[in-house]
Amino acid sequence: MHPHLVDSPPRPPGHRSATRAAAVLAALSALLLALVAAGWRPLMEFDKDVADAAHRRAVAEPAVTRAARILSDWAWDPWTMRLLCAVVVVLLAVRYADRWTAVWLAGVCALGSLLQQGLKAAVDRPRPVWPDPVDTAHFAAYPSGHAMTATVVCGLLLWLLRRRGTTPARWRTALAAGVVSVVGVGLTRVWLGVHWPSDVVGGWLLGATVVAAAVAVHRRAHPSRAAGRVSPGTPPPATTA
């Protein structure tokens, strides 16, 4: 029996859409970075107002704050996300024999971390300071490492899952878990008083930029695989004798 081979286009339509998305997200990221670095007053005042309100609630509701610390410091911690990414890298390389994608995934996550740390050092934005803090964090504030790492890891893993194909129920579950993780970790960082809101938005934008650029690279390097993506719940193609 021989598999039925189908010619794939040299450059799938998704390549261009991913490239355009990366360009738009990069422009928005650069704009927000410029506003933060310049200390644009309306943004600084908005950050302070939201952070002050969140901190008052965090002090007044210790049970919610404890839950936020568990989620932020353990479930959605950057090292937890990196460990999840490492597990998928091993699965891609060993179980699915897709070593190129495994190296791609590991490399993108590593580059995302380097970008995050480089921007923190370059911007060197102070974190919020409180007389009665409910949590602590180190290093500079912008961008939020928790928000950016969660966006990169969840975004890449969701794209890989959809590319390989799965059942509708599993896809909806994974999508919900990814969205809750990315949004939730950003909200907890503001609630715990360790980030300004624009730090979190910056992390989300930069993370989404990395994901879109990485997808564009993958689709360009492996157009046949990208074009052969199946939608969730779609059975694999049949073979002919």
Query: Is 6's pLDDT higher than 80?
Result: no
- Report how far residue 81's alpha carbon sits from residue 233's, in angstroms, rounded to the nearest whole number: 26
* Confidence at residue 232, expressed as pLDDT on a 0 to 100 scale: 45
At residue 103, the pLDDT reads 97
DSSP assignment letter at 86: H
**Dist CA 150 CA 83 (whole Å):** 12
* Mean pLDDT, range 182-191, rounded to an integer: 98
78-114 pLDDT, tens digit per residue, is: 999 999 999 999 999 999 999 999 999 999 999 999 9
Rounded Cα–Cα distance for residues 192 and 134 (Å): 6
| Cis amide bond preceding 128, omega within 30 | no
**What are the tens digits of pLDDT across the range 150-170?**
999 999 999 999 998 899 999
